[in-house]
Structure 1
Amino acid sequence: MKKELDEYLYELTMNLKEGSEERFSAHQIAESLQLNRSTISSYLNQAFRDGELIKIKSYPVLFLHKQALEDAELFLTKNEYDSLDELFVQKEGNALEEIIGANGSLKEALDQIKTAVLYPHNGLPILLMGVSGSGKTFLAEKIHEYAKEQQVIEADAPFIAYNCAQYYNNPELLSSALFGHTKGAFTGADQQHSGLIEKADGGILFLDEVHRLSDEGQEKLFTFMDTGEFSPMGDTSIRKKAQVRLIFATTENVYSAFLPTFLRRLPVIVTLPKFQNRPQSERLRLIDSFFITESDILDKELQVSYQMIDFLLNSDLEGNVGKIKNIIKYACGNAYVHQKESDIVQVRLRDLPLEYSLKFKEQFSKPKKQLPNRRYLPNTTQQTQLESKETQMLRSFFVEMLTEFKKVQQKESLTQRFIDTMVDRVTQMMDEFIFQETYKKEESFYSVLTYHIRQSLDMMYDSYGFEQDGNRVVSLASYLYLKDNEDILGSHYEWKEQKNELIEFLNGSLESPYWFAKKLLTHLSQQLDQQLFEEDIVFVTFYFYSLQISDLPSDVKSIVLAHGYSTASSLANVVNRMLGKNVFQAYDMPINITLDKVEAQIIRYINDYRTDSGLILLVDMGSFNQLGERLSKHIKSPLVIIDNVSTPLVLEVGDHIVKGDSITEVYEAITVEKRIQKQLIIPEINKKKAIVTCCYTGMGSATQIQEILQKCLGDAAKDLTIVPYDYKKLLENKLYEAPFQLYDVLMIVGTENPKINQVPYIGLDQLINGEAVEEFAELLQDQVDLDAETLKSQLIFNFSINKIVENLTILDATKVLRLVQKAVKELEQLMAIEFSNNQLFLLYMHCCSMIERILRKETVDEQEDIDEYVQREGKNMELIHQAFKEVEKEYTIELPVLELRLLNDIVKE
């Protein structure tokens, strides 16, 4: 019943419109679902307490689905409201949050913009970058609304937009337009003229295509940005003042289009994505919003074909969002002209402008899946996610999965319980998908899917022994068909936050199902020319786990390499059939192939397959010894090379492998005749020493850790290599990755453990707080002469700067850290104590972020016991306040009591 109620409320909330409020009461919900009212009431109140529903304290009390409101990008500040008006008025009161993509592809951009708008003393200049039609002018207008909402400008403050391209070839007129001119400043200037900067005083000036400004124009602008003063053209002795917030927009590369001196004065540069680069869910919401607008204008219900929506979603049109909007406007108008007497206007592909007829004909030559048409009603707002029942079911599953996984992370739920719950949900959905009657199994796109899934499973069987059966084909085809390559979680904030940790969890706890799911879907996406979504890998991992798939095979691997069009393939195929098992891979080599290419092929095989038990190469001829020498630098397990390959030789080797003989036993068993040579190569051990750094957030952070370790170790580490490396590759491929083939890795230092048992791991946090410094020094004792105390001091300072740079957006990290460090030292003197490494790091990090938070007018959570706390800890809080007086003076801020409490908690540990 809970699942049925959740799905019903989600759909109801997504289609909320004026006059439908009472449908959200417990009484109406119970009647709609034909269930007992008291039972429904109990479920609703429990779901509200669990944070799944929003309560409206009207009469009767209403319950709305929280996730549905968030998916509709309504900005929620609490879980309980006095009325629907209070719930929706906040959306109207936050111009940036209502933008489609505010919690998705535009989240980081909007965070930068908020920082710029709220920065003290007239804000910061903003440069918007993006292709034509990506929404720069629209966003500039929203920034103006947001600035008024935040009361950093007056309610009647002007917004003036100006396109610099108008006077591109006439610098005099451009200067006049911006700064004004005096009488007689140039020919035709017969009276004094006020410029745009003067007219925008107290408000915002938006300069589009600012790259059209000449160097002289840029210089005049940045002089105004520095001083707030300008002179009208024709009289430099006149100095005028204006308070103007500047927003610039460009479609060009900023580094080639602007003077370096101009760029240095632009601290906030925001890049807007192309329409096609935004998640599908956002593209669909934009399209829906345009159709809703047209439905309102025409005052008609619009019924739009799936083919039309698909064309708009997937066409890479020049002009981007602006072009899409105009196409929709034309198509709706065209349809309306021919159907204006009808209550429902049907919008089809034939209503598109003529120039797009070839585009959609080409696009629809491929088999497509048919879905219901989309309906748009006039005078409604909450209908921008018109999803199929199956998509809603999948969305509900993924949201539940993220919630339950968070409980596992917080130790509130058992790991196995989480796995079992998710597997049960996936199994139930797969059963529903298989017996789905809303589509015909013989439809062309379903047939295409089925064919390619069979091909991919054949590849999986040949390469990895992955068994294929009809039920797997049908299940996977049904899931992928109904999901329709939709990125359900693309703009989901919690998915972005938890994705890496969830993937790591699956790779560790469900290793074989995860590995098989990733390999299969990667191959399938290449065959279908479709995007691969990690959410699909997660879903299929749970499905494969339910099938109780056995672990990956770890027997000895073998490759036949022979020159000729199909020599190696023929040998391998014949012997594989005779053995009844896929033992050998084959590489057919052109006669003129270079040794570099042969080496590259084998290394690729080593990276793609698990060769823990060893690898045997059967070759026909060539640079036998050179190949062995080259590969010895890349292997971590034994390698056997045997030349003069023949069918009997391949059969003999295969027979030993099938029997389960080890690679050394196979090597010993092969009889060497006059023309046959064999070679056993053991991985090299005399390699250069190295430290590998990694971070689950990506290579950027791994590189930062590398640079800081090099700074800390200095010249003492000149004989040591520090290698930043991709965390996901380490986690997935372990010792088969390049660093372990090229170096003798002493340890891994990172933010997450890639779980390579043979190599010591030291967490970054343990280094910073001093816990692992001794262990770090011991591992390097034969390589580097280390002083542990000096190393501790260097680590904490360098990592503090590094982490602060990551977190700050408007403050200079080095400057603020220097001030904070001075304040913390003064605090140590005032309190007559010495802070630990951990306390110092926390204080540096917290204080720098705190200063920026105060500047941005952000607050910490309210604390009910603050008065009691101040009475108890007031003396310490006064000392902290005293130590930070210089910081307050420098940034013109005052530390609130709630912030002083947080600092005191760190001081007291």
Structure 2
Amino acid sequence: MKEQLLAYLQNQTAFFSTENVSDVFTAKDIAEKFSVKRNTISHYLNQLTEEGRLVKIATRPVYFFHKQAFEIQNYPLTKNVYDSLAAVAAEKPFFDQKEDFFSSVIGSKGSLAEVIEQIKMAAFYPNGGLPFLLTGESGTGKSFLVKMFHHYCVANELLDSDAPLITINCAQYANNQELLTSNLFGHVKGAFTGAEEDRGGAFEAANGGVLFLDEVHRLNAEGQEKLFTFLDQGVIYRMGDTGRSIPLDCRLVFATTEDLKQTFLTTFLRRIPIQATLPALEERTISERKQLILQAFFDEQKRIGLPLELSPQVIEILTTSHFSGNVGELKSTIKIITAKSYTASLKREVKKIAVTVYHLPEQLLQLTEEPNELAMMQPILIDGQTQIQQLTAESEPEQQKIIQTYEQILLNYVQAGQDFSAAASPISKVIERLFENLLFDHKQEQKQRTMIFVTEHVQRMMEQIEHSFQISFNGSMVYTISYYLWLRRNVEWLPDDQDKLLLTENLLKSVKKHYSTSDRYTENLIGLVQNALDIELTSMDRIIFTLYINDMGYSKESLLPRSIIVAHGYATASSIANVANRLLNESVFQSFDMPLEVTPKQIAERVTAYIQKNDVSNGLVVLFDMGSLKEVYQYIPELTVPIVMMNNVTTSVAIAVGECIQQKISFREIPERVSDYHQNEWEIILPKLKKEKVVITTCSTGLGTAVQISNLLEKSIPDQLKIRILPYEFNHLENSEQVKQTLTSYDIVGVVGTNRPRQELAPFISLEELISGAGTEKLLSWLKEELDEEMIAYVNNQLVRNFSLDRVIQSVTILDTEKVISQMELFVGELERMLQQRIANDRKLALFVHTSCLIERLIRNEAIEHYHASDTLLQCHEKQLNEIKKAFSVIEKVYSVGIPESEVCYIYDVLFGNTDSSMDEADF
């Protein structure tokens, strides 16, 4: 019984989610499934948990899932029993990686990121790493980073756990080079007066570890040259013994506060390939400075043992003050502040120490720039329960929420297997929660001066976009976007590794593909924000804004053509447009004032730029003051919308054209009506119809598998071919009217799917033909006009790779592909033995794909209840159906499922039905 339970939960765990856990993992449901008493099932489940084979979540109700299956599909778990679902989710690392001691360094993803990257390069370089030299002002953290480098090498098994870190301060030997030489390299007996025995130096003490030479600029030229032998050959000679070399394996690190070129020999610097400069405290970001301040107070609280309550003014003054000794002086100052506040508290016998501006050194006291904003901030409490990670996060909680949103967006995308159709909904919910919080929980910040400044600019930007695209944004978007940007200016987040960077760009590509209209509005908004507000936005911001705008919605304000006036001279066009717009009581015209010497090509460029930045899908009317319309038109690129061009514009002409637009007069009638009263040259330019080439993918069960097939084709066909892959609902392709619309909109070169549509659209290739390779030549023939020989070979290789059987099954089901194929082979072998015939390869491939989806349906308890031909099949082919059911028993045992008659009939049709519909409604 225990093994049956284990097998059942192993299959079910493939669908386990900590965000939306199903009742199938409760003892009650499992007892009903096996028709066994609940207390008996609970006994077995608890036994399996104690054995480490199941995981128990002690909530109400209690849940159980298969530990190994979960770990294979998700991430390792450290326990067998958890108090909550959140505790299980908390075990998940964002990306698996070795412990990185540098991640705890303040600024590791900001101002110190490049320095740390160089240090890591030095650590991992083959054959003992590379020597490196740290430069920077006193107190910037050079010695601290060397200690972290040593820890990092040990953590990554580049050094043994007991590897030494030996530090020599060269300043101590600045006037005694002989003593320095002895301390560095050691000496033999008699090497100098007082050398009574052989003695090793710092190099030998650091063997197998790290030798750190601080204040290395205090070495004179001769002292620098003495290091050359080790840097070049990895050996040293003790002082007084030039005949016996000592090979050593130690990593060499240097630090200095001085200018390299003025202090060091060129030949010395040439031997140190990595030279990194640490920024001064003032050069570090405000966020990092605050974190350094909080870290220092955190360390002092641990020393005195009493809670510290920090005034916001203290944090602000320390953040904006100048410390010539950098981080070192900052820490010393905070030690003095803490000591002063601690001494004052002794007189009052308080339980917590208040750190206020009255405890600051006099030279630091100054007025803050934003007293109103500081007054709204709460004091920061540090006590024995405070964690430093929690402390630095709470110092700017809203900024931290934004960063967490970024991380959660990528995590949802990863969990969905980078399938945007599956990830879109959870990602949108994450963004919705963030903006709801910004809108409703922080209204008091709307009165702050900087927030008002941002809001006024965003208001104008949104109005400009609304006017350009003739739309109206819904909801309170101005305020939520404004508050997001107000916080975003202090958020520093860039993908810290190549995986996250690639994920972000792939996600943005999918967002742009699915929501191209919303993305166009976002692209305009981001350009305006970066110009007006000096906020550098990233691909992640574009993803968030596009999805938010799409979810909030927008409405088209009108279906009227756009219109512009182009005239020579100062304010000529703008004067005409201003008068016309006022008399029309609507902003109908936009104006372009052009210099007198402007060329037709330059005018065309301005018109083209307007078309690209505005929604002119309903047409464009362009009014010129003079010049040949044909001369201008020849420089305008191929159009996708109609344009009316009219000459000899005046205020009365503009008003007449504006009235026609407001009255929704047709494009062709506008110039005809206006010319009845005015002498105008005019021309209508209609777009040349060039339909986009597409390949359609489809599946009878809906869009899900059609999208998966589309993804595989997109990976196989390069973007440069400019052939779009469009997934379509199968029912859409069965409707004659919708087929007509599709044919009108696109140049369809072919259809790939699980079923051939009854409406003839274009040549068809079945999915099993692509898997077998029989359809490859046909698909290449669709693309032949776009392909040269080299590209044909490339596409062919990509098709072979992406449409292998295991790759297709992996795309359409979440089950273990290798296991599914293995079980399918047993099933097909048993079926051929019972039927006493070989199954054709194309049917066998169709069977593999169909049955892999069937297994998942059965595990999910989502089997089809009725098959359209089941009654006839049961009467006429009972023997074959029974043989199929018997053969399928090998899969039933492994996955603990049972196959209903409807699904058996379906398999029969896959084997013996019509070729073009071998995979039908219930698939996928």
- TM-score (normalizing by structure 1): 0.55
| TM-fit CA distance, 1:459 | 2.6
SS in 2 for 1:205: strand
CA distances 1:775-804 after superposition (whole Å, capped 9, x unpaired): 9996476xxxxx749x97xx99xxxxxxxx
Q: Which residue of 2 aligns with 1:705?
A: none
Separation (CA, whole Å) in 2 of partners of 1:176 and 1:554: 88
Separation (CA, whole Å) in 2 of partners of 1:667 and 1:178: 92
* 2:352 is the alignment partner of 1:344: yes
Q: Which residue of 2 aligns with 1:160?
A: 167
Separation (CA, whole Å) in 1 of partners of 2:488 and 2:563: 39
| TM-fit CA distance, 1:280 | 7.6
Kept after mapping to 2: 8 A contact 1:283/1:313: yes
Q: Which residue of 1 aligns with 2:234?
A: 228
* 2:652 is the alignment partner of 1:648: yes
| TM-fit CA distance, 1:542 | 3.5
Query: Cα distance 1:528–1:838, how it changes in 2: closer, same or farther (>3 A)?
Result: closer
| TM-fit CA distance, 1:292 | 0.9
**The one of 375, 380, 403 aligned to 1:374:** 380
CA distances 1:434-454 after superposition (whole Å, capped 9, x unpaired): 443784765555544544443
CA distances 1:126-184 after superposition (whole Å, capped 9, x unpaired): 455777765443221111223345262572524225468996x9999998987689999
Q: Which residue of 2 aligns with 1:145?
A: 151
Q: Which residue of 1 aligns with 2:504?
A: 499
Separation (CA, whole Å) in 2 of partners of 1:775 and 1:307: 70
Q: Which residue of 2 aligns with 1:519?
A: 524
Separation (CA, whole Å) in 2 of partners of 1:336 and 1:277: 31
SS in 2 for 1:39: coil
| TM-fit CA distance, 1:554 | 9.0
**The one of 99, 118, 126 aligned to 2:105:** 99
Separation (CA, whole Å) in 2 of partners of 1:207 and 1:437: 52
AA aligned opposite 1:646: T
Query: Cα distance 1:780–1:423, how it changes in 2: closer, same or farther (>3 A)?
Result: closer
Q: Which residue of 2 aligns with 1:298?
A: 304
Which runs of no fewer than 5 residues in structure 1 stay unpaired? 6-35, 78-89, 686-745, 761-765, 782-786, 797-835, 842-863, 869-909
Query: Cα distance 1:204–1:394, how it changes in 2: closer, same or farther (>3 A)?
Result: closer
CA distances 1:849-871 after superposition (whole Å, capped 9, x unpaired): xxxxxxxxxxxxxxx99xx9xxx
Separation (CA, whole Å) in 2 of partners of 1:398 and 1:554: 37
Separation (CA, whole Å) in 2 of partners of 1:683 and 1:444: 50
Q: Which residue of 2 aligns with 1:487?
A: 491
1:472-621 aligned within 5 A: 472-476=477-481, 485=489, 487=491, 490=494, 496-520=501-525, 522-524=527-529, 526-532=531-537, 535-550=540-555, 557-562=562-567, 566-588=571-593, 605=610, 607-610=612-615, 618-620=623-625
AA aligned opposite 2:655: L
Q: Which has the larger radius of gyration?
A: 2
- Over the residues paired in the alignment, what is the CA RMSD in angstroms? 6.5
* 2:769 is the alignment partner of 1:748: no
Separation (CA, whole Å) in 2 of partners of 1:552 and 1:184: 97
Q: Which residue of 1 aligns with 2:472?
A: 467
1:397-476 aligned within 5 A: 398-411=406-419, 415=421, 418-423=423-428, 426-427=431-432, 430=435, 433-436=438-441, 439=444, 442=447, 444=449, 447-467=452-472, 471-476=476-481
AA aligned opposite 1:405: Y
What percent identity do the matched residue pairs reach? 28
Kept after mapping to 2: 8 A contact 1:569/1:588: yes
AA aligned opposite 2:382: Y
1:166-245 aligned within 5 A: 197=203, 200-207=206-213, 221=227, 223-230=229-236, 241-245=247-251
Query: Cα distance 1:478–1:120, how it changes in 2: closer, same or farther (>3 A)?
Result: closer
Query: Cα distance 1:407–1:63, how it changes in 2: closer, same or farther (>3 A)?
Result: closer
AA aligned opposite 2:130: L
| TM-fit CA distance, 1:569 | 3.0
Q: Which residue of 2 aligns with 1:720?
A: none
Moved more, 469-478 or 138-147: 469-478
SS in 2 for 1:586: strand
CA distances 1:172-199 after superposition (whole Å, capped 9, x unpaired): 9998987689999999999999876466
Separation (CA, whole Å) in 2 of partners of 1:230 and 1:218: 14
Query: Cα distance 1:243–1:470, how it changes in 2: closer, same or farther (>3 A)?
Result: closer
Query: Cα distance 1:423–1:227, how it changes in 2: closer, same or farther (>3 A)?
Result: closer
SS in 2 for 1:123: coil
CA distances 1:23-63 after superposition (whole Å, capped 9, x unpaired): xxxxxxxxxxxxx97417549999x9699999664999798
Separation (CA, whole Å) in 1 of partners of 2:345 and 2:555: 61
| TM-fit CA distance, 1:501 | 2.1
SS in 2 for 1:467: strand
Kept after mapping to 2: 8 A contact 1:632/1:681: no
Q: Which residue of 2 aligns with 1:39?
A: 60
- TM-score (normalizing by structure 2): 0.55
CA distances 1:689-732 after superposition (whole Å, capped 9, x unpaired): xxxxxxxxxxxxxxxxxxxxxxxxxxxxxxxxxxxxxxxxxxxx
AA aligned opposite 1:290: A
Kept after mapping to 2: 8 A contact 1:160/1:200: no
AA aligned opposite 1:748: Q
Separation (CA, whole Å) in 1 of partners of 2:666 and 2:225: 74
Query: Cα distance 1:39–1:205, how it changes in 2: closer, same or farther (>3 A)?
Result: same
Separation (CA, whole Å) in 1 of partners of 2:346 and 2:539: 45
Separation (CA, whole Å) in 1 of partners of 2:167 and 2:129: 17
Q: Which residue of 2 aligns with 1:364?
A: 370
Query: Cα distance 1:41–1:641, how it changes in 2: closer, same or farther (>3 A)?
Result: same
Separation (CA, whole Å) in 2 of partners of 1:98 and 1:751: 47
Query: Cα distance 1:773–1:516, how it changes in 2: closer, same or farther (>3 A)?
Result: same
Kept after mapping to 2: 8 A contact 1:632/1:682: no
| TM-fit CA distance, 1:376 | 1.4
Kept after mapping to 1: 8 A contact 2:565/2:589: yes
AA aligned opposite 1:647: T
SS in 2 for 1:748: helix
Separation (CA, whole Å) in 1 of partners of 2:521 and 2:194: 76
Kept after mapping to 1: 8 A contact 2:58/2:81: no
| TM-fit CA distance, 1:227 | 1.1
SS in 2 for 1:155: coil
Separation (CA, whole Å) in 1 of partners of 2:725 and 2:136: 38
Kept after mapping to 2: 8 A contact 1:562/1:620: yes
Kept after mapping to 2: 8 A contact 1:603/1:634: no
Kept after mapping to 2: 8 A contact 1:183/1:192: yes
Separation (CA, whole Å) in 2 of partners of 1:615 and 1:258: 68
RCO higher in structure (CA 8 A, sep ≥6): 1
SS in 1 for 2:394: coil
| TM-fit CA distance, 1:293 | 1.0
Moved more, 545-554 or 302-311: 545-554
1:695-714 aligned within 5 A: none
Separation (CA, whole Å) in 2 of partners of 1:294 and 1:217: 40
Kept after mapping to 2: 8 A contact 1:117/1:123: yes
| TM-fit CA distance, 1:646 | 2.5
Kept after mapping to 1: 8 A contact 2:409/2:427: yes
Separation (CA, whole Å) in 2 of partners of 1:662 and 1:211: 81
| TM-fit CA distance, 1:245 | 0.9
Moved more, 675-684 or 440-449: 675-684
SS in 2 for 1:585: strand
Separation (CA, whole Å) in 2 of partners of 1:496 and 1:161: 41
Kept after mapping to 1: 8 A contact 2:472/2:557: no
| TM-fit CA distance, 1:509 | 1.7
AA aligned opposite 1:155: D
CA distances 1:400-457 after superposition (whole Å, capped 9, x unpaired): 443333344455xx72x64444545655665565443784765555544544443333
Q: Which residue of 2 aligns with 1:718?
A: none
SS in 2 for 1:487: coil
Separation (CA, whole Å) in 2 of partners of 1:779 and 1:747: 11
Kept after mapping to 2: 8 A contact 1:104/1:491: no
Kept after mapping to 1: 8 A contact 2:566/2:593: yes
AA aligned opposite 2:589: F
AA aligned opposite 1:386: E
